Amino acid sequence: MEARPSEKAPGSEDNPTISPPFKEFLSHLDELRKRFLRILIILASATVVSLFFSERLIQFVTGRAIFDDAPYLALLYPTEGFVVRLKVAFVAGVFLTVPLWFWQVWGFLSPALYKREKKVILPVIIASSGAFLLGASFGFWVLPHAANYFMALAPSDVAVYWSLGKYVDFSLRLLIAFALVFELPLIIYAAAMLGVVTTKQLRKYRRHAYVGVLVSAAIITPPDVFTQIVLAIPLVILYETGILLAMMAQKKRKTEETV
């Protein structure tokens, strides 16, 4: 009896109905899925490990709020303590693994880049991890000042009770916000090196950028004017730093083109 030929899967390489560009797209999609899965596994592992240290991490975050009359941190509903531990462990996992995130991004992008583009992007990818952690450190320095400001607004004859969950949410959002905005100069530098933007454009649209800065600060920070201003000021400084880096990038680019 003649053997029945094996059927090909619709997405297989030998399927003649699939065009080469679509095969390439599926290949990239599969690579993206694999790298995203790796990031999730790495993050989940770091989060589980951080859970064992969650109490110390909570003390580390809340211990930065140093007041003359410290408020009481209270649990306002039964599951709040558990939720707080999960959130703190998750964010700790993010900070611990962010260099690996950037490395996975590089692994996905590098095959599609030209040699010159790799020379630009790789240093930015490496520096991004440091900038992310530096931004979080700066946010950690800002945190007690923000907390003191809000504590000072409380009436003197009122006992202050803060929800532990709300305070931890406030703290973590502040840290993540500063970590993200510290990436701005590197993004501008990379864009200038690749010829996407010029210093002339950055200066021309400076006012528009500042409006965007204020809107961004309002979105990514806790909903109060103080922290929005506290974030907007570094954002403006970082934008101006980005312009200086763009000038350096343009000079370097011109030098490379003349060689």
| Structure confidence by residue, pLDDT tens digits, 14-35 | 555 666 666 767 777 877 888 8
Highest mean pLDDT among 63-77, 179-193, 211-225: 179-193
Output the pLDDT for position 191. 86
**Joined tokens for residue 139:** 């946010």
Q: Which of 48-62, 100-114, 151-165 has the lowest mean pLDDT?
A: 151-165
Cβ count near 31 (within 10 Å): 13
Position 10 pLDDT exceeds 80: no
The residue-averaged pLDDT of 168-193 equals 87
Residue of 89 and 248 predicted with greater confidence: 89
Cα–Cα separations (whole angstroms), residue 158 to 44, 68, 151, 161: 42, 14, 11, 9
According to the model, what pLDDT value does residue 257 have? 63
CB 99 within 8 A of CB 129: yes
Backbone angles phi, psi at 28, to 5 degrees: -65, -40
pLDDT of residue 220: 66
| Span 93-152, pLDDT tens digits | 998 998 888 888 888 888 877 787 788 888 888 888 889 999 988 888 888 877 777 777
d(Cα 2, Cα 9) in Å, to the nearest integer?
Answer: 22
Task: Give the integer Cα–Cα distance in Å for 16 and 111.
Answer: 26
Which 3 state secondary structure label does DSSP give 3? coil
Identify the pLDDT of residue 200: 85
* Spatial separation of the C-alpha atoms in residues 14 and 4, rounded to whole Å: 18
φ, ψ dihedrals at 73, nearest 5°: -95, 120
State residue 50's pLDDT score.
92
Q: Residue 161: what are its φ and ψ, rounded to 5°?
A: -120, 120
Q: Report the C-alpha gap between 157 and 256 in whole angstroms.
A: 67
Give the tens place of pLDDT for each residue, 221-253. 666 677 777 777 888 888 888 889 888 887 877
Average of per-residue pLDDT across 204-226: 74
Higher pLDDT residue, 49 or 10?
Answer: 49
How many CB atoms neighbour CB 92 within 10 A?
Answer: 21
- The span from the CA of 192 to the CA of 197, in Å, is 5
Distance CA 154, CA 104 (A): 46
Beta carbons within 10 angstroms of residue 50's beta carbon = 22
Q: Is the sign of the CA dihedral 49, 179, 128, 31 positive or negative?
A: positive
Residue among 188, 195, 177, 204 nearest 241 (CA): 188
Q: Tokens representing 237?
A: 């400084």
Which tokens belong to 71? 């408020």
pLDDT exceeds 90 at position 13: no
pLDDT confidence band for 69 (50 / 70 / 90): low
